Structure 1
Amino acid sequence: MAGSPAHASTITERTLPRPEGMRHYMVVEPDRLARSNRPLVILLHGHGTNGAMMVGMDSFAGYRSLDWVRLAERERVLLIAPDGMKAGDGRTSWNDCRGDAPTNPTGDDVGFISDLINVAVNELGADPERVYVFGSSNGGGMAYRLGIELAPRLAAIGVQSALMPAQSHCRAPSRPMSVFVMHGTADRIVPYEGGKLGNWLLRGRGSGIGVDESVALWRRVDGLTELAGRYRIPHLQSSDPTFATRYIWGQDPARVQIELMRIEGGGHAPSSKADDLPWILRKLAGNMNHDVDAAEEAWIFFRDKRASNRQ
């Protein structure tokens, strides 16, 4: 499937044979992207959506975003957006570490993402030093798992509206990892303070520890005890009831860092300056922040980090 005139990229659908069956993923190659040593961001969708939605090729209840594609074109970044597997409730999902989520699939998603990195490096010219993962909601939970189990292969991970599991079937993090976290304090699907996940439409989604506790867990692994900076983001729209504050641990953007982008009053949707939610999604997901772009903030955090510098 070729990219539309709205953006200067080639967007293709691919498949990869795996023991659990044929796996589907999208590849975004901006026109001005270098032929080799390409930075790679792997985008992981939330429960019930798909990789095409992460790159603006599909919509959910009328909502479509090209934030990651626009960023990739400007910054010359390779994007891969894979699909999860069908979960117990029939929706596409990821096998993250929640041991108390009966609607999670059970296949080897870690092996799938590892194979995708091999394809990206060997066939698409990705730089093995600059492989980043960004996940939303259940995709964020999967990003946390990859940060544990694929740590040597990743330069950093980003998580939007996701928590570390309260009951985990995975081992605890043990290797340093740079982690970007964005979360709204009024998220009703994945509560900021932790606890049961989901709503009346999403059942059997397990539970998580709070955002601050999740961040503190990774800070301990990284040995980051002192807050390096706290910044209130300028408010752009008077009608926006949310506001954003950035917290940083770790002074050097090229070394291990933790960042928390706390969205006061924000709901479950990623922040975007350009996009807005249809009324039905605003009703379900809560308010969207318009002071920052989730894609932009994650990339600013990622761009100077290299896998070999995570010490």
Structure 2
Amino acid sequence: MKSTVSVAGRTRSFTAVGEIDGPGDRAIVLVFHGSKQDGEVHRRFTGNALDRLAREGRAVVVYLDGYRGNWNDARATSSFPARLEDVDDVAFARAVVASVSRSHRVEARAVVGVGYSNGGQMVFRLIHEAPDLLTGAVVVAATMPDRAGFLGGFSDSAADRPVPVVLVSGTADRIVPFRGGRMAWWARAMFKVGGAALSAPATAAYFARRNGITAAPAVEMLPERPAGRKGARMEETAYREPGHPPVTLYSVLGGGHTVPGAKPAPAVLGRTGADRGIDELVLEVMEALGRSA
């Protein structure tokens, strides 16, 4: 059932999944959908994979609804209604955390932002503009805008409040190029965005620097799923250094604009990563929070 909050004169909606009387130390997982979706569409798009965290009592999973199908992210050249009307999605995220903390009796010490595509860009904005809100992030099918195109404060130095970050990018993504640069003309027109972006590896390196990590990353293939689980293989590039939140890039080899997991995306979006699911990636961030606590 949907709930609502009032933010800057607008009524905004979201759906919280989890028992009201569950453990008080659960994480809150904020899920930001992609362009032209809403929370429920994205929930189905991922095969309800994140709901597992709610069933197991690990988290309250919250599917937020963007404004007319989009988030007012930090890309300078966005021109969809959420940007043109200057919708305050940072305040919306804060209001949702406060509301769910009350309704589900959660202490909200762990708040993980999960974003796909435009939703991933919204998570980038929250990391930079609301560093007190998110304690971890999982970003799928989105790479950082370049310095000129990022409104959230592109940084070359370590952050005061770094967070563990997991990134997922398909090497054959036709919408968000793995190697960075500008999106194809048809994608710019369809999604009403422009500008240039970093490559997926450069995005991971950016967040590693932001987390104060100076060590070189370790690269390895993930173990393949048992026979019968079809999908693209995934390569892990892991930035690890004691005392610093980790940053991990999962490159989906031959993968498209998709969320990894058991449910494949529509063929038009490309191949889906199968070696690790989105729920497992969120658990990875939650476990990193436990180690750093």
Q: TM class by shorter-chain length? A: 0.7 to 0.9
Aligned to 1:271: 260
Residues 41, 239 of structure 1: alpha-carbon distance in 2 compared, 3 angstrom cutoff? closer
Residues 172, 308 of structure 1: alpha-carbon distance in 2 compared, 3 angstrom cutoff? farther
Distance 2:62 2:229 in 1: 35
Residues 307, 141 of structure 1: alpha-carbon distance in 2 compared, 3 angstrom cutoff? farther
Residues 32, 198 of structure 1: alpha-carbon distance in 2 compared, 3 angstrom cutoff? farther
Residues 241, 44 of structure 1: alpha-carbon distance in 2 compared, 3 angstrom cutoff? closer
Aligned to 2:289: 305
1:98 is aligned to 2:75: yes
1:53 is aligned to 2:30: no
**Does structure 2 conserve the Cα–Cα contact (< 8 Å) formed by 1:85 and 1:93?**
yes
- Greater CA drift, 207-216 or 19-28: 207-216
Aligned to 2:178: 192
**Does structure 2 conserve the Cα–Cα contact (< 8 Å) formed by 1:155 and 1:308?**
no
How high is the TM-score relative to the length of structure 1?
Answer: 0.82
Distance 2:135 2:186 in 1: 37
Displacement after TM superposition at 1:287 (Å)? 0.9
Displacement after TM superposition at 1:266 (Å)? 0.6
Q: 1:271-290 alignment to 2 at 5 Å?
A: 271-272=260-261, 274-277=262-265, 281-283=266-268, 285-290=269-274
Residues 188, 20 of structure 1: alpha-carbon distance in 2 compared, 3 angstrom cutoff? farther
1:139 is aligned to 2:119: yes
How high is the TM-score relative to the length of structure 2?
Answer: 0.87
**Does structure 2 conserve the Cα–Cα contact (< 8 Å) formed by 1:185 and 1:267?**
yes
Q: What SS does the corresponding residue of 2:3 show, helix, strand or coil?
A: strand
Residues 26, 241 of structure 1: alpha-carbon distance in 2 compared, 3 angstrom cutoff? closer
Distance 2:217 2:70 in 1: 35
**Does structure 2 conserve the Cα–Cα contact (< 8 Å) formed by 1:129 and 1:308?**
no
Aligned partner (choices 67, 73, 78) of residue 49 of structure 2? 67
Q: What SS does the corresponding residue of 1:43 show, helix, strand or coil?
A: strand
Displacement after TM superposition at 1:137 (Å)? 0.6
Q: What SS does the corresponding residue of 1:120 show, helix, strand or coil?
A: helix
1:44 is aligned to 2:32: yes
> Alignment length, in residue pairs?
280
Q: 1:164-243 alignment to 2 at 5 Å?
A: 164-166=144-146, 167-173=149-155, 174-175=159-160, 176-197=162-183, 200=186, 202-207=190-195, 208-227=197-216, 229-236=218-225, 237=227, 240=230, 242-243=232-233
Deviations 1:83-132 (A, max 9, x none): 1112xxxxx10011111122261211011101111222233222332111
RCO (CA 8 Å, sep 6+): is it higher in 1 or 2? Answer: 2
Distance 2:17 2:177 in 1: 32
Aligned to 1:5: none
Distance 1:276 1:203 in 2: 22
Aligned to 1:250: 240
Q: What SS does the corresponding residue of 1:227 show, helix, strand or coil?
A: coil
Distance 1:147 1:21 in 2: 23
1:155 is aligned to 2:135: yes
Following superposition, which runs of at least 4 residues in structure 1 exceed 6 angstroms of deviation? none
CA RMSD of aligned residues (A): 2.5
Displacement after TM superposition at 1:72 (Å)? 2.6
**Does structure 1 conserve the Cα–Cα contact (< 8 Å) formed by 2:260 and 2:273?**
yes
The percentage of counterpart residues that share the same residue type is 24
- Richer in helix (by share): 2
Aligned to 2:65: 83
Displacement after TM superposition at 1:288 (Å)? 1.1
Residue type at the aligned position of 2:49: D
- Greater CA drift, 215-224 or 297-306: 297-306
Q: What SS does the corresponding residue of 1:141 show, helix, strand or coil?
A: helix
Q: What SS does the corresponding residue of 2:95 show, helix, strand or coil?
A: helix
1:22 is aligned to 2:3: no
User: Structure 2: which 5+ runs fail to align?
Assistant: none
Aligned to 2:251: 262
